[in-house]
Amino acid sequence: MNLLELGALAQIAGAIAIIVSLILVLIELRKTLQQHLLSNTLARSIEVEKMHYQQMDESMANLIVKGRKSYVDLDENEKIRLESYVLQKLAIYSRGYAIAAASTYGQPTQHLKHRIKTNAEDFLSYQGIQECYKDLEKRDLINENYFVKEIEIAV
């Protein structure tokens, strides 16, 4: 075997090594993406659980019930608390929707987007919550306005 033949074999071995390393990189990228999605899902779940826990507090539950009926009838302290609650809920919906929209996993993504839209529609269906939303919007305090417009919720 001469030097030229050895060089050709080395090139073939090098090409195979590059292909194998690319396959390994793809496998690692997929694992990293799966870990990232799992971490993201866990973080969103914790946020939602905190909101549910907050709603279980009797004074907050009373405020939500009162605020759903009429934002205008709330005193200033109650308005501030309800506004914070509305902004927090919209931020959770918006982040969840953005993650679902950026995902490339097909049907579960559509299901998640539909669930978020349904929950947001229900949340924004109350007269008091709509009044609060419009007041926040008028004061330019809503960062998630694009989200509400994108999912076409009439507020």
> 138 and 79 in contact (C-beta within 8 Å)?
no
DSSP codes of every residue in 27-42: HHHHHHHHHHHHHHHH
> 95 and 143 in contact (C-beta within 8 Å)?
no
Q: What is the pLDDT of residue 145?
A: 64
CB contact set of 68 (below 8 Å; sequence gap of 6+): 126, 127, 128, 129
Query: Looking up tokens 């509305």, which residue turns up?
Result: 86
* Tens-binned pLDDT, residue by residue, of the chain (155 aa): 788 888 888 899 999 999 999 999 999 998 887 787 777 777 777 877 887 788 888 999 999 999 999 999 999 999 999 999 998 888 888 887 777 766 655 556 777 778 888 888 888 889 999 999 889 888 888 876 667 777 666 66
Q: Among 133, 126, 100, 128, which residue's Cα sits nearest to residue 115?
A: 100
Helices (H) and strands (E) in the chain, counts: 6, 0
Q: In Å, how far are 91, 134, 136 from 67, measured between CA atoms?
A: 19, 14, 14
